[in-house]
Amino acid sequence: QVLLQESGPGRVKPSETLSLTCAVSGGSISSHYWHWIRQPPGKGLEWIGDVYYSGRSNTNPSLQGRVTISPDTSKNQFSLRLISVTAADTAVYYCARQVDHDPFDIWGRGTMVIVSS
Amino acid sequence: DIVMTQSPDSLAVSLGERATINCKSSQSILYRPNNVNYLAWYQQRPGQPPELLISEASTRKSGVPDRFNGSGSGTDFSLTISSLRAEDVAVYFCQQCRFTPYTFGQGTKLEIK
């Protein structure tokens, strides 16, 4: 059974960098696509981007080049880095798996990140 | 970007009755070479991550009860719960995975009347 677990600081100061990690257990990241999605409190879902184990990634243009998503095959995990955060980046951040063109079949439990000084 | 619009925003249905949620995409998400609509439905209970219910517009994920049915093609899709149960109270999202950036509907909150 593949499980995903997000980790990272729960609070980040405005203008600083948000860094999260998604640990994958029960399966290898050296296949499929791995995604980050976020959900502001009480709101809908926003796709942030994805990465393949080779390092090839796609990110949402709405985030204006602030996002980097990277794999770490040695630790079987992948990471999210979001620079220059503002209060609008406050959200629950989820990682998820995608097989081929299928939708996201496995999600982490999510981690809440609050941007506040 | 493809805009996904759900209706209604909220819905109250009596136990045992039918619930229908609609989802419209701003452009077709049908991939003609394989005739697949890359449309998914998710269920999100309070405090939980979304759970995949249906992929390719109408294929239930293994273990999803058969009271959940998806239909539609091109730009217009629906999720129907044939006989509502208390555990179906949740927010439901549609998502297109045909084009990046992948986009979601705004969500439909389903409650018991």
Q: Quote the minimal CA–CA distance from A39 to chain B in Å.
A: 10
* Chain A residues lying within 8 Å of B42, measured CB to CB: 103-104
* Chain B residues lying within 8 Å of A69, measured CB to CB: none
User: Which residues numbered 21-50 in A keep a CB inside 8 Å of some CB on B?
Assistant: 44-47, 50
* Chain A residues lying within 8 Å of B40, measured CB to CB: 103-104
Asked whether A18 and A7 are in contact (CB, 8 A), the reply is no
Task: Please answer yes or no on whether B107 and A44 come within 8 Å at the CB atom.
Answer: yes
Q: Could you give the CA distance from residue B87 to residue B110 in angstroms, rounded to a whole number?
A: 11
Task: Please answer yes or no on whether B50 and A102 come within 8 Å at the CB atom.
Answer: no
**pLDDT at position B88, please?**
97
Task: Please answer yes or no on whether A102 and B55 come within 8 Å at the CB atom.
Answer: yes
Q: Could you give the CA distance from residue A53 to residue A114 in angstroms, rounded to a whole number?
A: 29
Closest residue of A to B59, CA-based? A102
Which residues are B25's β-sheet partners?
B4
**Per-residue pLDDT of chain B in tens (113 residues, 90 and over written 9):** 999 999 999 999 999 999 999 999 999 999 999 999 999 999 999 999 999 999 999 999 999 999 999 999 999 999 999 999 999 999 999 999 999 999 999 999 999 99
Closest residue of B to A4, CA-based? B49
**pLDDT at position A31, please?**
86
Q: How far is CA A107 from CA A16, A80, B20, B75, in A?
A: 26, 15, 25, 26
Asked whether A90 and A114 are in contact (CB, 8 A), the reply is yes
User: Which residues numbered 38-67 in B keep a CB inside 8 Å of some CB on A?
Assistant: 38, 40, 42, 48-52, 55-56, 61
- DSSP classification of residue B86: G
**pLDDT at position B29, please?**
95
Task: Please answer yes or no on whether B101 and A44 come within 8 Å at the CB atom.
Answer: no
**Which residue type does A20 have?**
L
**pLDDT at position A101, please?**
83
**In which residue ranges of chain A is pLDDT below 50?**
none
Asked whether A38 and A94 are in contact (CB, 8 A), the reply is yes
Q: Does B34 touch chain A (CB under 8 A)?
A: no
Asked whether B84 and B19 are in contact (CB, 8 A), the reply is yes
SS3 at position B104: strand
- Following DSSP, what letter does each residue of B28-77 receive, concatenated? --EETTTTEE-EEEEEE-TTS--EEEEETTTEEPTT--TTEEEEEETTEE
SS3 at position A88: helix
Task: Please answer yes or no on whether A109 and B100 come within 8 Å at the CB atom.
Answer: no
Q: Could you give the CA distance from residue A116 to residue A97 in angstroms, rounded to a whole number?
A: 30
- Which residues make Cβ contacts (< 8 Å) with residue B58, sequence separation at least 6? B69, B70, B71, B72
Task: Please answer yes or no on whether A44 and B104 come within 8 Å at the CB atom.
Answer: yes
